[in-house]
Amino acid sequence: MQLQHWKLEREGDGLAWAILDTANSSTNTLGAAVMNELGLILDECEKSPPKGLIFKSAKEAGFIAGANIEEFVSADTPEKARVLIQRGWDTYNRLAAVSYPTLALVRGHCMGGGTELALACRYRIAVDEPGTKFALPEVMLGIVPGWGGMLRLPQLVGPAAALDMMLTGKNIDAKRAKKMGLADECVPPRVMDNAARMLVLSGKPPREERLPFMQKLMNGPLKGMVASGARKQVAKRARQEHYPAPYAIIDQWQNHGGNTLAVPADRPTSLDALVRHSTTRNLIRVFFLQDRLKGFGKDARDFAPRHVHAVGAGVMGGDVAAWCVLRGMTVTLQDQNIERIAPAIGRAAKFFEKKLRDKKLARFALDRLIADPKGDGVRQADVIIEAIFENLEAKQALFADIEARAKPDAVLASNTSSLKLSDIAAKFKDPSRLVGIHFFNPVAMMPLVEVVASAATAPEVAQRAAAFVRRIDKLPLPVKDAPGFLVNAVLAPYMNEAMRCVDEGIAPETIDAAMVAFGMPMGPI
C-alpha cells in the first residue's frame, strides 16, 4: 500500500503503528488527502486486524495541528462545508467502532481534528513535555468541533469540563489532561513508546466506561440543566447575534448528539448559519493575520535570549517580568529600592501558582525572578526592557546608563506608549540600538506586542526584538515610530467620537449600550 502522508508499520507481535508525516509541511494537518489515506489504513486493518493500533507523529513540531484551515476557507458554501464535515465525522466514527484497541500517542500540539482523532481512539497517552497541549479551538474560528469532539469529549471527561474546553478553546497541558481524564497516562518521552505498547495491549476498559455516576447523569437526564448553566455563562461574555458558535456548541451537544450535520439548516445554530455568518469569516481572517505575525522575527532565529532585565517594577514592568519568567527566562527586576520591587514579586508568585498549578514548578519559576535594585543584571542581560513612568528626561538618563553597561548585542527596548522613540534615542551614543517593545495591559491576556522601529533603529535590532516577542509566545506587530503607534492610533478616534457624542448631549449609558449592541466587548465611556 503506497501512502504519501502516512506509514503503516506492523511488528512481529501483531502490533501496528500508524505514523503521520504530512508531506511538504512542517506540521501535520488533516487535509482531504490525509483523511483519505487514514481511510485506506482502516481498510487495511479491517482486512488483517492488528492486536492494537497506535497513532503517532513523525514530526518534531507536534502531533496534529488540526484540520487544514485553507480547505475550510475554500468550502465557502454550506454544501461544501457539509462534505468536509461529513468526511471527518464518518472516518472518526469508523475509527471509534473498530474491534481492535487503538491509542493516540500525543507528543506536542494536538489541536482540533487532532484531538478529535485522539478522542476516537480507545486510549490516549500524553507525553510529559511543555509543548504537549490538547485543544478544541474551533470556537475561536466561529465554528464547532464537527468531527466527533462534541460527542466524545463529554462522555470522556464529563460535560462541565468538556464544555469549558470547547467554549473557550483553551489549551490543556499533559498533566492536566491526565488529571481530568482526557489522557489515560502522562509519561516522560524516554518511555512513551513502551508505555503505548503496554496500554494498547492491556485490555483495560476505556475511560468512558469508568465515568463517575454523576457525570453520566449530567450527560443524560441532567443535560438540560447543564446546558442552561453553560448558556448563562456564555451570555456574560458574548451575545449570540455576534458570536453564535458557543451557543451552537451547547445546542448541538444538548439536542443533536454532538452531530453538527443533524441540525436543521434553518436553525441559527446550524452549520449553514455558522458558515454564512460574518463573524466566522472575520475570525478566520484574524487567524491568518495572526499566522502572519508569527512569521516576524524568523530572520533572527540565531537570537536565543535567556536573560531579561526589566526596569520598573510597577504593574506593567512587574507583569512583563513575570510573563517572561513563565516562558522560561531568567529575569532581573530593577527599581529604586527593594520595597518597590516586593509587590511585583508577590503578584508574580500568585500568578505562577495559578498558571503552573504545581507548587514545585511555581517555586522554581519564582527563583528565576530576581530582585535587582542596583541594576547589576544589565551587564548580563540579552534583552533590557524599560517600563518606568512616561517622562522623557528620566528615560533618557536611564538609557544613558544602560547603554554604557549593556552587552554590545543586547536588545535595548522601551515600553513607552506615548513618547516618540526617536526622542528617547536622541541622547544615545548609538541610536540604532533602541527599539520599542510595547506590551498591552493585562500582559498575560493580551497576545499582541507592538515592535516599534524609529528611523534610526537598525533592522537587525527590530528583528531580534520580534524574535524575542515570539520566544515569549506573543505576537509581534512591527510598527513605525508615529504618535500612538498603531493600536492607540486606531483607538483614539473611537474614544474621541464617543466623547463628542457626550458633548452633544447623548447619555454615556446610551453610547455604551449602542457599542455593546454593535459588538464591542464593552462601551467606550
Give Cα separations from 413 to 91, 238, 466, 510 (angstroms).
51, 36, 11, 41
C-alpha cell at 137: 479551538
Could you tell me if 129 and 328 are in contact, meaning their C-beta atoms sit under 8 angstroms apart?
no
Name the helix (H) or strand (E) containing 151: helix 149-157
Burial class (CB in 10 A: 0-12, 13-18, 19+), 182: buried
User: Which of 70, 9, 32 is closest to 291 using CA atoms?
Assistant: 70
CB under 8 Å to 389, separation ≥6 — which residues? 312, 314
- Grid cell 488529571 is found at 179
- Grid cell 466587548 is found at 521
Q: For residue 11, how far is the Cα from the chain centroid? A: 37
User: Which of 320, 276, 14 is closest to 143 using CA atoms?
Assistant: 276
Phi–psi pair at 313, nearest 5 degrees? -105, 25
Distance CA 297, CA 412 (A): 16
User: Helix, strand, or coil here: 133?
Assistant: strand
Catalytic residue among 256, 277, 307, 438: 438
Distance CA 303, CA 35 (A): 38
Distance CA 144, CA 252 (A): 9
| C-alpha distance across the termini of the chain, in Å | 65
C-alpha cell at 127: 507525553
- Grid cell 528583528 is found at 463
Could you tell me if 384 and 413 are in contact, meaning their C-beta atoms sit under 8 angstroms apart?
yes
Q: Is 242 among the residues known to form the active site? A: no
Distance CA 60, CA 246 (A): 32
Q: For residue 63, how far is the Cα from the chain centroid? A: 15
User: Which of 520, 448, 443, 431 is closest to 485 using CA atoms?
Assistant: 448
Distance CA 476, CA 501 (A): 34
C-alpha cell at 374: 542596583
Could you tell me if 226 and 218 are in contact, meaning their C-beta atoms sit under 8 angstroms apart?
yes
Phi–psi pair at 198, nearest 5 degrees? -65, -45
Could you tell me if 36 and 6 are in contact, meaning their C-beta atoms sit under 8 angstroms apart?
no
C-alpha cell at 259: 452531530
User: Helix, strand, or coil here: 76?
Assistant: coil
Question: Which residues are known catalytic residues?
Answer: 438
